[in-house]
Amino acid sequence: MLAAKQIEQDIFGDPLEGVVWTFPNANRYEGEDKVSARNLDLYLEQALGAKPTTVAKYKRGTFYEYEAWTFPEYGHTVEEDDLEEYLEWAYGATKEYI
């Protein structure tokens, strides 16, 4: 009888497919955390303690609002557009397509 192929899961139990984030040394006991892109927001809140926020900027007489994340561990607020670069820099996270 053939064994069924076991599907890898992220730390929330969802299948690892599409865009997957890997956070090295995030979990002291198992080495790394793998998170599917659909669970990234949940991971940021639960594992990293980040909070979603809105940043207002004033440009040429107009206020603009941007979605952002506040990371209390480092005291940084990062706009959504810069999140990938920040996760790579601050946490050594990598993004891959499976």
% of the chain surpassing 70 pLDDT: 88
Tokens for 48, please give them.
């990293």
Global pTM? 0.81
Say which residues have a Cβ less than 8 Å from residue 75's Cβ, sequence separation at least 6. none
How far, in Å, CA of 7 to CA of 14, rounded? 10
Q: Does 4 score more than 90 pLDDT? A: no
Q: Does 44 score more than 90 pLDDT? A: yes
Could you tell me the pLDDT band of residue 27, with boundaries at 50, 70 and 90? low
For 49-97, write each residue's pLDDT tens digit. 999 999 888 888 888 888 999 998 888 999 999 999 999 999 999 999 9
3-state secondary structure 33-69: EEEEHHHHHHHHHHCCCCEEEEEEEEECCEEEEEEEE
Q: Where are the domains of the chain?
A: 19-97
